[in-house]
Structure 1
Amino acid sequence: MSPAISIVVPIFNMEAYLPRCLDSLLHQTFRDIEIIAVNDGSTDGSLKVLESYSERDSRLKIIDSDNQGVSGARNLGLSYCTGQYIGFVDPDDWVSSTMYEQMLDAALDQDIDIVMCAYTREFGTHTKPKHYSLPDKSIYHGEEVQWQLTRRLIGPLGVEVASPEQLDAWGTVWSKLYKRSLIRKAGCSFIDLKEIGSNEDTLFNIEAFSHAESFIFLNRPLYHYWRANTESITTCYKPLLDQQFQTLYQCMELFAKGRSVEYRQALNNRIALNVLGLGLNIVSTSNPASVFGKVSQIKQLLSQRVFGDALAKFEIRNCTSVWRLFYTAAKWRLAWPVYLLLMVIDMMRTKSIRRNRSGIYSYPAGRDYHESRRTRDDANELLSANEQKRLSV
């Protein structure tokens, strides 16, 4: 008999963290689950840990594969799922003991397609729940799902632009349960990060939500997102990131096409906001270019039509003072001021990361070393706790 829930866990060299993750899943108050653990070519003792747990609990099913990256591992895991609902968990994270019971109850109560919960950021020395200015339970049906979720996943509009740190707050897959029949109907799959650079979660969700008729958000921090750093906090320079992002935008354009003009504006705002992350990629200390070389790269970035057009139409008036200066300089293609602002932003961000010992840029569980762990929220690292709370949506 098929279980109620299948949980896919992509794993790449996470021997140290796996027991904590697996214990949280196998000790759920709701026990009718199967755990599809995809060992994605790990070279450490991850497979041995999995085998040890599997011997004790048959609900853990191991898929041992060659390394193919997080998207390939998740897609492989999906092909083995038999549950009515499907969830995803990263192996260095863990979940509250009642997470899947609460989420499934909410789903079954009204036959919901997708359920999402809030999460807590775990820094090792302290915790910080992600703030959403919403009631305990929010339910959306029909066109509300498309406008409130699909459109928001494509990009922000109006006052949402004031919170660049919230750009992909709804885009993670590990905080959700999806009806398996919906995933099959929508043909959802994860695109290789070598093609799009980042946001494979967001694209998966856009595809799923564009076919969904119902959605519930539980404003309860049931998922625990590990951000304590034991690796270098420096970024890895990605010379092709701007090209990869343009492929990402093309994928999003397919969903925006044929919808209202607001969807196109939302994508335009996403492209403009992404100039920050692309700029930080250029000024990364791992970029071997000289200062003049980096300024030249910034100039080339701002001169590219896709980014220049997006910045020209960007709703700068909705930005907070923290970001208005940066995006105004970018809009006018002022390469040197943009470079200097990026250096200040990077310094502040790095200082904040060191202070919090967060793992935003550490090598991730379930991913190759060239793959980003989650969508970067560089802006969030520069805002005070009060500003973050005030700007949250």
Structure 2
Amino acid sequence: MTPQVSVIIPVYNVGKYLEKCLSSVVEQTFTDLEIVVVNDGSTDDSPQIIARFARQDSRIVVIDKSNEGLAYARKSGVEAARGTYIYHLDGDDYLEPDAIELIYAQARETDADMTIAPFVIDYPETGQSQHSLVPGRESYTGLEYFSEIAFTRAHWSVFSYLHKRNLYDHVTFCKGLSYGEDVYLTTQLTYYSSRIAVIKGKPLMHYIIRNSSITNSRFSEQKARDILLYPDLVNDFFKDKPEYNLLQKELGAIRIQAYNTLLSKRWFKDAHRLSRESLAILRQYPDLKSIPQIRAFRKLFTLYAHSPILGRLYAQYYICKKKIK
């Protein structure tokens, strides 16, 4: 019998946190689940934990594969999934007990292609947490919601969406892409969604940011490559679409924010050229200056655009003031 929801969990060396993640899924109040766990070449005790849970719950489907990164781990999970709806959950995050029940009910009630749920961002090292952004409306078209995200009024986070599996008839994955994979995947999912519903109320999942997580771990050439790549992937996706010319401001906002992410990670390689690109976009769309991340780094990339030496000196000031960590 076809399950209503397939929960896809990519796993790579998250053994310390995996039990909490898997427990939160198998103990969901909504039981018509298929749980697809993709072991992406883990070298820690993650495979043993997965096997133990699979022996105890017949709904768990295990995929063991060589390491190819988050995007292809999700791709493998989607290809194996049989559910009417797909839900992605990272192996170090976890759900509230009634998360799937509530988000599924909203999806069925509204017949939405995607349903967006609120979540909590937890920082275990400091004990701090913050609630996700809450979109202003309860319903959007796909392109409307894409604009909300591009202008930082909503999140790229794939783990906060329940979406119909048939959307993947059109979706492609970029092999090896980890940092920015949510941006590329969300761009496609929103574009092919006619109706997007938003749940208001309590957070339904916990997104954990640790020093060792993909988004917060030590910066590298690979992460810099990903950050430079994903604005191009999004741009290339829209290039042959009829809406391309109407989305130039959104695409510009995404590009500037990507470049600012590099600055925030102390990645100053080629900052002069990238900052000049950012200023050119702002000259064309000056109201983008009001976006918080763009506003926070505007003086820095303005100086970098005029002089790499001045930019590097001002970057040291940002580091001293902990604007750059």
Q: Give the TM interval when normalised to the shorter protein.
A: 0.7 to 0.9
Structure 2 residue 191 is the aligned partner of structure 1 residue 218: no
The equivalent residue for 1:199 is 180
Distance 2:230 2:211 in 1: 31
Shift of 1:239: 7.3
Distance 2:208 2:227 in 1: 27
Look up the SS of the partner of 1:174 in the other structure.
Answer: helix
Structure 2 residue 315 is the aligned partner of structure 1 residue 333: no
Identity %: 22
* TM-score of the superposed pair, with normalisation by structure 1: 0.72
Residues 1-393 of structure 1: matches in 2 within 5 Å? 1-124=1-124, 125-134=126-135, 138-140=138-140, 144-146=141-143, 148-153=144-149, 155-156=150-151, 166=152, 169-184=154-169, 187-194=170-177, 198-219=179-200, 220-229=202-211, 235-238=218-221, 241=224, 245-246=228-229, 248-255=231-238, 257-259=241-243, 261-281=245-265, 283-284=266-267, 297-302=270-275, 306-307=277-278, 309-315=280-286, 317-318=289-290, 322-330=296-304, 332-349=305-322
Distance 2:12 2:226 in 1: 26
Q: CA deviation digits over 1:298-338, x for unaligned, max 9?
A: 334445xx5563354352653566444234324x4332232
Residues 247/173 of structure 1: CA separation in 2 closer, same or farther (3 Å cut): closer
Shift of 1:205: 1.5
Contact kept in structure 1, 2:179 and 2:223, CA below 8 Å: no
Contact kept in structure 2, 1:272 and 1:314, CA below 8 Å: no
Distance 1:247 1:205 in 2: 12
- Residue type matched to 1:226 in 2? I
Q: Which runs of 5+ in 2 are unaligned?
A: none
Shift of 1:52: 0.6
- Residue type matched to 2:203 in 1? P
Shift of 1:47: 0.6
Q: Which protein, 1 or 2, shows the higher relative CO under an 8 Å CA cutoff with sep ≥ 6?
A: 1
Distance 2:15 2:70 in 1: 16
**236-245 vs 111-120, which deviates more?**
236-245
Distance 1:120 1:326 in 2: 30
Q: Which runs of 5+ in 1 are unaligned?
A: 157-165, 285-293, 351-377, 382-393
Residues 56/349 of structure 1: CA separation in 2 closer, same or farther (3 Å cut): farther
Look up the SS of the partner of 1:43 in the other structure.
Answer: coil
Residues 192/341 of structure 1: CA separation in 2 closer, same or farther (3 Å cut): farther
Distance 2:230 2:187 in 1: 15
Shift of 1:149: 1.2
Distance 2:110 2:95 in 1: 24
**77-86 vs 255-264, which deviates more?**
255-264
Contact kept in structure 2, 1:7 and 1:33, CA below 8 Å: yes
Shift of 1:262: 4.2
Q: CA deviation digits over 1:2-38, x for unaligned, max 9?
A: 1110011111111111100000000000011011001
**22-31 vs 216-225, which deviates more?**
216-225
The equivalent residue for 1:290 is none
Shift of 1:246: 4.8
Distance 1:240 1:228 in 2: 16
Residues 17/326 of structure 1: CA separation in 2 closer, same or farther (3 Å cut): same
Q: CA deviation digits over 1:96-151, x for unaligned, max 9?
A: 0000000000011121110111111112253423243556x7123xxx332x2123
* TM-score of the superposed pair, with normalisation by structure 2: 0.85
The equivalent residue for 1:289 is none
Distance 1:243 1:32 in 2: 36
Distance 2:230 2:167 in 1: 25
Residues 230/193 of structure 1: CA separation in 2 closer, same or farther (3 Å cut): closer
Shift of 1:178: 0.8
Residues 224/31 of structure 1: CA separation in 2 closer, same or farther (3 Å cut): same
Residues 349/224 of structure 1: CA separation in 2 closer, same or farther (3 Å cut): farther
- Residue type matched to 1:32 in 2? D
